[in-house]
């Protein structure tokens, strides 16, 4: 033990961590909901960190380092997805016991989750509106305007000699990404070489995409279980919005290219 307390507590900051759970009711489900939401927020931060690390490695042509960061991202997404298990028991009656206390609070207002989406290439200017004139707004705006992980991977393909048009490489990165046949053909060529480090990159990206897809499915399932098609907190249309968001594919040509392999 040190003069300031137990070393573990000092390093992990358990005093702060365990002071953050402040339920507003005595409903049994609120502590689960609050703490699991906080756990998810920590995972968002970890995932955003790893995605940024992957981008830095891609830009420096350090493909093995990028693959490592992406594989860690996929594992963190597995942990994030497992968090939903702690809410699987919750029925509409359980949720309704404290739901009104959330007021206008909504998961759609999570700036760290938006950062994850932007780094994955899921961009929609409307998603920035809640954060304007907020402390998180500047960082989100920068991420929105920067290349995504997918943009950096495509740029790497071009540097490795794949013929990609300027409209893909020099596009406005704050616009929604539009799939291109040339990118699809490049990935088909990559997968023809079993020993290519780019093939390993493709598989790591695919794993991230799949695990993120699992996250969105689990989110829809949890909302459907706890509140059905009721309007969401914060004014969203809840289940309908989440179901539509699932149609936005992460790393699209990586999947469409498989049809031609």
Domain contains 52? yes
Please report the pLDDT score of residue 4 as a whole number: 61
Residue 142 annotated as part of some ligand binding site: no
Secondary structure (H, E, C), 213-258: HHHHHHHHHHHHHHHCCCCCHHHCCCHHHHHHHCCCCCCHHHHHHH
Residue 224 annotated as part of some ligand binding site: no
Dist CA 39 CA 13 (whole Å): 15
Please report the pLDDT score of residue 241 as a whole number: 67
pLDDT per position as a tens digit, 88-132:
898 899 998 998 888 777 777 889 999 999 999 999 888 888 787
Domain contains 253? yes
Please report the pLDDT score of residue 124 as a whole number: 85
Q: Look up the domain containing 102 and give its range.
A: 10-260
Dist CA 197 CA 26 (whole Å): 54
Domain contains 138? yes
Do the Cβ atoms of 63 and 198 come closer than 8 Å? Answer: yes
236 confidence band (pLDDT: 50, 70, 90): low
Averaged pLDDT, 233-245: 67
Do the Cβ atoms of 111 and 140 come closer than 8 Å? Answer: yes
Count of domains forming the chain:
1
Other C-beta atoms closer than 10 Å to the C-beta of 181 total 11
Do the Cβ atoms of 21 and 38 come closer than 8 Å? Answer: yes
Q: What is the pTM of this model?
A: 0.91
* CA-to-CA dists, residue 96 to 25, 30, 101, 150, 224, angstroms: 12, 10, 9, 40, 13
pLDDT per position as a tens digit, 23-47:
999 998 999 999 999 999 999 999 9
pLDDT per position as a tens digit, 150-202:
999 999 999 999 999 999 999 999 988 999 999 999 999 999 998 889 999 99
Please report the pLDDT score of residue 242 as a whole number: 75
Domain contains 76? yes
Residue 133 annotated as part of some ligand binding site: no
Burial (0-12, 13-18, 19+ Cβ within 10 Å), 228: exposed
Domain contains 3? no
Domain contains 105? yes
Domain contains 1? no
Q: Provide the terminal-to-terminal Cα distance of the chain, rounded to the nearest Å.
A: 60
Residue 142 sits in a domain whose CATH number is 1.20.58.480
Please report the pLDDT score of residue 68 as a whole number: 98
Closest CA to 64 of 204, 193, 162, 158: 204
Percentages (nearest 5) of helix, strand, coil residues in the chain: 70, 0, 30
The label of the residue with tokens 């939903």 reads 84
pLDDT of 71 > 90? The answer is yes
Other C-beta atoms closer than 10 Å to the C-beta of 250 total 23
> Residue 2 pairs with which residues in a beta bridge?
5
pLDDT per position as a tens digit, 84-94:
999 989 889 99
pLDDT above 90 coverage of the chain, percent: 68
pLDDT per position as a tens digit, 219-234:
888 888 887 777 656 5
245 confidence band (pLDDT: 50, 70, 90): confident
2 confidence band (pLDDT: 50, 70, 90): low
Domain contains 4? no
Dist CA 157 CA 214 (whole Å): 27
């Amino acid at each position: 033990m040190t003069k300031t307390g137990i070393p573990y507590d000092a390093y992990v900051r358990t005093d702060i961590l365990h002071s953050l759970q402040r339920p507003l009711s005595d409903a049994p489900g609120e502590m689960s909901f609050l703490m699991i939401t906080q756990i998810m927020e920590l995972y968002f931060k970890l995932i955003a960190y790893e995605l940024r690390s992957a981008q830095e490695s891609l830009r420096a042509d350090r493909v093995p380092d990028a693959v490592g960061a992406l594989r860690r991202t996929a594992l963190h997404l597995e942990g994030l997805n497992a968090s939903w298990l702690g809410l699987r028991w919750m029925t509409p009656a359980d949720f309704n016991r404290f739901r009104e206390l959330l007021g206008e609070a909504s998961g759609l207002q999570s700036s760290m989750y938006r950062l994850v989406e932007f780094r994955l290439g899921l961009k929609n200017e409307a998603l920035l509106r809640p954060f304007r004139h907020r402390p998180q707004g500047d960082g989100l705006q920068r991420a929105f305007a920067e290349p995504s992980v997918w943009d950096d991977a495509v740029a790497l393909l071009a540097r490795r000699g794949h013929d990609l048009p300027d409209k893909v490489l020099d596009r406005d990165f704050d616009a929604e990404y539009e799939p291109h046949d040339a990118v699809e053909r490049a990935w088909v060529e990559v997968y023809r070489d079993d020993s290519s480090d780019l093939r390993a990159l493709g598989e790591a990206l695919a794993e991230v995409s799949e695990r993120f897809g699992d996250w969105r499915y689990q989110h829809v399932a949890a909302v459907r279980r706890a509140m059905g098609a009721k309007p969401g907190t914060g004014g969203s249309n809840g289940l309908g919005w989440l179901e539509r968001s699932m149609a936005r594919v992460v790393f699209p040509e990586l999947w469409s290219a498989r049809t031609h392999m």
